[in-house]
Amino acid sequence: MTKIPGSGFSCFKYGIVLLRFIYCGDVVGRPGREAVLNNIDFIRKKYVPDAVIVNVENAAHGFGVTPGICRDFLDKGIDGLVTGNHVWQQRDILSFLNENKRIIRPLNYPEDLPGRGCMEINLPDGRKIVVVQVLGRLYMEAVDCPVQAINKVLKNYVLGKNAAAILVDIHAEATSEKLAFGYYLDGKVSAVAGTHTHVPTADARILPQGTAYITDVGMCGNYDSVLGFDIQEPINRLARRYTGMRLSPATGKGTLWGIVVDTDDNSGLATAIEQISI
């Protein structure tokens, strides 16, 4: 791929103008934050993306995110931040969700809650990337229907017309729900990326109608752990059913997991998806 002077980071492939974005999975604690922040310059140099989006769901000691942590990512050039079901666990984030348009919470929470579930990333060349997040409902807390929620958003955006690319994060437990959601949106959005379960899956592919899909992007955090957390408390809960201690993020070096997605400017559909691990 080659950079086109004066037009952002667009690339030509076989005469097709492409858009490229990177999505990094759930950041868990300090190891996850450092894995992203210390490698973002390398990522931009290696992959030359038009935008980088990061899920900061567990960035604040494993539970939610604070305005200060958000600013650390945004000041480093991250284009958009996505959260998840732990978004409400740091109370000082509530006003930030309303004030800053570069962070979203799940779309299918009640509409009168702080924040928004959809954001637009406007590129320097005039193109627009739309990012949406929904929560799954299997084995999760009670929320509104993710299909009805996403249908309302998609009435406002058409791939290849007023949206160069649309990324949808489904933050869910069940692989079956994520897969069904991916096929439901196949051909309607550029990519459907699963998060929340913190384990990268080996099924990154392009679905039949042109939507890139992966069941779980994986986390950014210390993988010598249980989903990014120190192993002892999860072992205690497994062996003794005793949950008296709080989960704490594992210390040590983190690994960044994410995906790189290329889309065709004419259709907005995916031409490639690749997993990255650093």
Query: Phi and psi for 154 in degrees, rounded to 5?
Result: -70, -10
In the annotation, is 171 catalytic? Answer: no
Q: Which residues of 226-254 are buried (b: 16+ CB within 10 A; e: fewer)?
A: bbbbbeebeeeeeeeeeeeeebebbeeeb
Percent helix, percent strand, percent coil in the chain, to nearest 5: 25, 30, 45
DSSP label at 27? B
Query: What is the Cα–Cα distance from 78 to 243, expressed in whole angstroms?
Result: 36
* Closest C-alpha to 101, from 87, 120, 85, 84: 120
Taking a C-beta distance cutoff of 8 angstroms, is the pair 233, 247 a contact?
yes
Query: What is the Cα–Cα distance from 51 to 80, expressed in whole angstroms?
Result: 8
Query: What is the Cα–Cα distance from 40 to 230, expressed in whole angstroms?
Result: 25
Query: What is the Cα–Cα distance from 239 to 39, expressed in whole angstroms?
Result: 37
Query: What is the Cα–Cα distance from 92 to 98, expressed in whole angstroms?
Result: 11
SS3 for 24? Answer: strand
CA atoms within 13 A on the CB side of 68: 5
In degrees, to the nearest 5, what angle opens at C-alpha 27 toward C-alphas 26 and 30?
Answer: 160
Sheet with 212-214, side-by-side order of all strands? 118-122, 128-135, 165-171, 191-195, 212-214, 205-206
Active-site residue, selected from the candidate residues 86, 171, 196, 198? 86
Active site residues: 86
